[in-house]
Amino acid sequence: MLELLQVAPMSTVQDLGREGLRHLGIGGGGAMDPFALQRANALLGNAPGAAAIELCAGGLRLRCTRDAWFALQGAAFEMRIEGRLQPAHLRCRVMAGQELSLQGPQAGWFGVLAVDGGIALPPVLGARATVLRGGFGGLDGRCLRAGDRLPLGAASPLQGRRGLAPPRWTPVLGLLPGPEFQALDADSRALLWRQRWRVTAHSDRMGLRLHGAQALHCGAGELLSCASLPGLVQLPPGGQPIVLAADAQTTGGYPRIGQLMAAERWKLAQLRPGDRLQFAPVDLDTARERWDDQQRELRLLRSTLGCPDA
């Protein structure tokens, strides 16, 4: 059992989310940074999609009722066990009754704290990911708070410290031009690539609202509702784009000017309000190759770390 003594307000239990329920209006959801979740789980010998704590813009303090291994990926935090600072990026051992604390984030925004055996809350509709808007999954469909107790899966027989440095990245996001890209006027098409976009404070697990010095103009009006996926860059009437994130609604009607390449969607989780980003055009073949590369990289990591399934 994990006992939360303190936790940042918008933190939730997340896994890799639900697949195949979009036709019911239920989105995929899951960790904002699925890449970080999978790296953390690989470090602990967990299944790739084992449930973990997703921290949003703040840390936590917790105690565990059994000896446990923890791995932190995604946003950077200072980790302490009983007050002693731990080296970054390494999995670490916490004995029953000891206190683990995370302070930060010093870099990035969403962190993933995984534990060996994973968080063993009952799955709802096939996953443990919390859906705040639907009020289901995770712990009673809500954000975590002090006093919560989270059940754990079986402990893993891990030996020694292993670590994994975070991926190097830049805030340049590869974008597939969307169905309404050509409906942007010529100036707007150029601006989309050239302009730097600021992440505004109105950003959360549903989407990031961007702001650019110059708004974009699109000739396409409201469209008939159509499936929309995380990473979709929509253009509402004001001309300032919204990038859909993990918990976005499943259908939308705003012009679709682009779609982030799937292999870079995790970057959304590590941009902070106030950060600036740029879009770079990418084609379908390149985006598919980059996705396959990332999947291969994760499989390689699991076999290098000796994960049971690898």
Partner 1 sequence: MSETWHWLAEHALCLSLAPPPDVLTQRRLLAMAAQLRGTPGLVDAVPGLHNLTLMTDAARLPPADLEALARRAWRTARPARETLRERALRVRYGGAEGPDLADCAGRSGMDIEAFVAAHAGARYEVACLGFLPGFAYLLGLPEALQQPRRASPRLQVPAGSVAIGGAQTGLYPIESPGGWQLIGRCMQPLFDARLEPPCWLLPGDSVRFEPEDHA
Sites of contact with partner 1 (CB under 8 A): 19-26, 124-125, 131, 133-137, 141, 176, 178-179, 222, 224-227, 229, 231-232, 249-252, 256, 259, 261-262, 284, 287-288, 291-292
> Could you tell me the smallest distance in angstroms from the CB atom of residue 245 to partner 1?
14
> Could you tell me the smallest distance in angstroms from the CB atom of residue 5 to partner 1?
29
Cβ-based nearer residue to partner 1, 166 or 231:
231
Cβ-based nearer residue to partner 1, 33 or 180:
180
DSSP codes, 231-278: TEEE--TTS--EEE-TT--SEE-S-EEEEE-GGGTTHHHHPPTT-EEE
> Could you tell me the smallest distance in angstroms from the CB atom of residue 133 to partner 1?
7
> Could you tell me the smallest distance in angstroms from the CB atom of residue 224 to partner 1?
4
Cβ-based nearer residue to partner 1, 40 or 233:
233
Cβ-based nearer residue to partner 1, 106 or 182:
182
Distance CA 21, CA 28 (A): 8
- Closest among 186, 254, 208 to 110, alpha carbons compared: 208
Cβ-based nearer residue to partner 1, 147 or 237:
237
Q: Which residue has the tokens 């997703």?
A: 54
> Could you tell me the smallest distance in angstroms from the CB atom of residue 223 to partner 1?
9
Question: Which H or E run includes 296?
Answer: helix 284-304
